[in-house]
Amino acid sequence: MPFFQEWTPVASLRPLLSHGLAMTYGLYILAYPPRNRYLAFLLLCVPTLYAFRYHLSLTPWYPVNDTFGRMLYIWLAYMSYACLLVRVTPNIGHRAGWRERLPWAGKILYTRHLGEYYTPPSAHRAIKQEKDEEQAVQPASEKTILKRRREAQHHLNRLEFCLRHLAKAVIFIAFNRVYDTYIVPPTTYPPASFIRRLPASLTVDELRLRAMMTWDVCIGDMLYFESVYSVFAVLWVGIFRLDSASEWSLSLFGNLTDCSSVRAYWGTYWHDFINASFTAHVKLITRSALRMRKSAARRLVENAVVFGMSGLGHSLVSVRCKDLSAASGVSTPVPVDSGYVSQDEDEDDEAAAEEVTAAVRADPFERTFATRWLTSLISRVEEMDITEEAKGQIVDDAAFILSSFSDSTNDEEEEALIREFSFPTDLGRPIEVTLNDAPLTGTDHTDVGLQSWGASIVLSSMMCADPRRFGLTSTSLSERPSIIELGAGTGLVSLTLAKLLPSLSVYPTGISATDYHPTVLANLQENINTNFPPGENVNMPVSAMALDWSTPPPDLESSSELLIAADVVYAPQHAAWLRDCAAHLITDDGVFWLIVTVRQNGKFEGIPDTVEAAFVPELCPRDGQGRMFKILERSSLEKRRGIGRGDEKGYNLYKIGWA
């Protein structure tokens, strides 16, 4: 239960005392039924709604406050059923004193022992007649059902019972507290591990993450409700002494070692706490006000009202959470640009939108709620009756949103990520590359080369799977070809070629992995040393080199037989610089392979169009023989599941050369 807001004991008195007042008044009207029940119920609504108004101030933990707020309106719906529809009356003498009436009222205050109260025939004859008809078909009465469900399973005395429930509540709350605080908070789940519905293999990390998810959305919540049940048991049996120990069981859902307890948790929670309360509540409308007879139409109306009221109540809780979050003073981080940019962009509207988005992502409630909702959506997408394309779109969009939550929002330095790639080949042995994906600095938006992107992974795998397509053979290349990668970033493509080409009997004079950013070059050199340790390699097959596309060195003119660039264009001028730089570097018969990511939303939408616009005939460079440096081939590649970011829709692969 992560901290949700700055909490003070004084602030918690508002919801605590107001609900205590509502509970006391509820006991009174149950023990001494008033003549005007509607007026009494309206008075009961006042402190209950006040408690709801400040329910997020009850504790420092959002899950506790959220459950308390939802319990308030569910309890109010139940009280309307007990007071206005059933019109419960203590089944004792009219002259009985408060010592006899109070225990009876306490037994019904939180939906217990309702069957021990009766409905006066003069109040609602139609309802009683209908119940008699239903009981004729199904003899088990409400009293029998309640009694059977809560049948005592122990022989503990009052003290032993209270100590056991108190210990259980403390242990269960401690488990959840330690788990959420020190093991894995719900908002820090790496989303990529959840969106892979059919992974090639379940690694230890994937199994661990799935175990965390199971605990968080199922077992943890069940333990939380069990602890709440134990607290109420101690209050009703040990402190208020409204019930005896034999009237309460030792567990709300059953033995935790029994899998049926989990099914009971879901069934009991949704039916008893949600559906039953609202279904009873709407009977005031359908049976008393509208006087509808038992029919399919009445059930339809009741179900529609139940879902409407439940949704409205949940929305009110969410609105209150958002209001409090907006006033909580959460700091807004500055968004980090994720592309190569040559100059500062003066786009006030986009900046304002990004600030709003950053504020929402920084909000603890918004992050927790969105993470739970999106991971649940992804897990159930296969159950939807929609096309496979629509399912994939939903998963991609949800993954894109979840991936944004993994960005660091504090000043602590992020840890680097070691990634291992294995690309299958037709030679029987895969090409394996180990990379260090360094964290973005957060202060310079041109350092995206510190991380591996989807396009470089796709291009590397394609070269390993079909090297002939890219001319990576001894017959297509010269005896000692020179290779340059532009915008190498982590160096994945260069390192892959350095390990692939010798197996194809191709031995290049050198592979130059070039980039512009100093931090990227330092990380690139580290990756080269990881895959080709200096002590084991006298002649390093890959070298890191700084290169400015706008001013390529004269000594590199016509020096490279093979040029490669993966996802390096993030602005229109980049395509023009890249075109001119490649034309300067490539040999007369060389080939330039360029792969560009297609993004259909965000600030990088339409980038592939800028590439093709840069290669229109009137802009293409020409050599001394009149040949044009132009696009020779263009292929569209589909996005591969589990590779790349959620905003990536596919890739365009260009073969460029002199013609």
Cβ(551)–Cβ(573) below 8 Å: no
Does residue 156 lie within any of the structural domains?
Answer: no
Confidence label for 282 from pLDDT (cuts 50, 70 and 90): confident
Per DSSP bridges, beta strands 510-515 and 482-486 are parallel
Q: Which pairs with CB-CB distance under 8 Å and at least 24 residues apart come from 378-381?
A: 378/194, 378/195, 378/197, 379/194, 381/197
- Burial per residue of 325-356, b for 16 or more beta-carbon CB atoms within 10 angstroms, e otherwise: beeeebeebebbbbbbbeeeeeeeeeeeebee
* pLDDT, tens only, 434-452: 887 665 444 444 444 456 6
Whether the per-residue pLDDT at 493 is higher than 80: the answer is yes
The reported pLDDT for the residue numbered 192 is: 44
Sequence-distant (≥ 6) Cβ neighbours of residue 332 within 8 angstroms: 355, 358, 359, 362
Does residue 243 lie within any of the structural domains?
Answer: no
Does residue 370 lie within any of the structural domains?
Answer: no
Whether the per-residue pLDDT at 335 is higher than 50: the answer is no
The residue among 636 and 70 whose pLDDT is bigger is 636
Looking at residue 412, the DSSP 8-state letter turns out to be S
Whether the per-residue pLDDT at 17 is higher than 90: the answer is yes
Backbone angles phi, psi at 252, to 5 degrees: -80, -40
Average pLDDT over all residues of the chain:
73
**Residue in the structure block whose two tokens are 């359908």:** 286
Q: Give me the mean pLDDT over the 22-46 stretch.
A: 90
Task: Say what percent of the chain tops pLDDT 70.
Answer: 66
* pLDDT, tens only, 609-630: 888 888 888 888 888 888 899 9
Confidence label for 388 from pLDDT (cuts 50, 70 and 90): confident
The residue among 167 and 290 whose pLDDT is bigger is 167
Q: Print the domain residue range for 590.
A: 417-658
Confidence label for 50 from pLDDT (cuts 50, 70 and 90): very high
**Nearest CA among 576, 569, 498 for reference residue 532:** 498
Least confident of 157-166, 257-266, 336-345, 521-530: 336-345
Sequence-distant (≥ 6) Cβ neighbours of residue 573 within 8 angstroms: 342
Question: What is the distance, to the nearest Å, from the Cα of residue 421 to the centroid of all Cα atoms in its chain?
Answer: 26
Does residue 382 lie within any of the structural domains?
Answer: no
Whether the per-residue pLDDT at 520 is higher than 60: the answer is yes
State which of 294-298, 392-396, 650-654 shows the largest mean pLDDT. Answer: 650-654
C-alpha to C-alpha distance for 497 and 431, rounded to whole angstroms? 9
CATH number of the domain within which 588 lies: 3.40.50.150
Instruction: Sort 156 into a burial class: Cβ within 10 Å, 0-12 / 13-18 / 19+.
Output: middle
The reported pLDDT for the residue numbered 139 is: 43
**Nearest CA among 511, 512, 492, 516 for reference residue 501:** 511
Whether the per-residue pLDDT at 39 is higher than 60: the answer is yes
Number of other residues whose CB lies within 10 A of the CB of residue 655:
16
Does residue 608 lie within any of the structural domains?
Answer: yes
The reported pLDDT for the residue numbered 167 is: 93
* pLDDT, tens only, 480-492: 888 999 988 888 9
Does residue 361 lie within any of the structural domains?
Answer: no
Whether the per-residue pLDDT at 112 is higher than 60: the answer is no
Whether the per-residue pLDDT at 407 is higher than 60: the answer is no
Does residue 147 lie within any of the structural domains?
Answer: no
SS (H, E, C) 590-618: EEEEEEEEEECCCCCCCHHHHHHHHCCCC
Q: Give me the mean pLDDT over the 182-192 stretch.
A: 49
Whether the per-residue pLDDT at 394 is higher than 70: the answer is yes
The reported pLDDT for the residue numbered 302 is: 78
Whether the per-residue pLDDT at 281 is higher than 70: the answer is no
* pLDDT, tens only, 564-576: 998 888 777 888 8
Whether the per-residue pLDDT at 515 is higher than 70: the answer is yes
Q: Give me the mean pLDDT over the 261-274 stretch.
A: 59
State which of 64-68, 142-146, 590-594 shows the largest mean pLDDT. Answer: 590-594
Whether the per-residue pLDDT at 209 is higher than 80: the answer is no
**Nearest CA among 653, 644, 639, 651 for reference residue 392:** 639
Whether the per-residue pLDDT at 130 is higher than 70: the answer is no
Sequence-distant (≥ 6) Cβ neighbours of residue 69 within 8 angstroms: 52, 55, 56, 317, 320
The reported pLDDT for the residue numbered 118 is: 40
Span between the terminal Cα atoms of the chain, in Å: 65
The reported pLDDT for the residue numbered 64 is: 76
Count how many domains the chain has: 1
The pair of three-digit structure tokens given for residue 32, joined into one six-digit string: 């001494």
Confidence label for 141 from pLDDT (cuts 50, 70 and 90): very low
C-alpha to C-alpha distance for 575 and 635, rounded to whole angstroms? 18
Does residue 535 lie within any of the structural domains?
Answer: yes
Backbone angles phi, psi at 536, to 5 degrees: -100, -10
Whether the per-residue pLDDT at 140 is higher than 50: the answer is no
The reported pLDDT for the residue numbered 308 is: 74
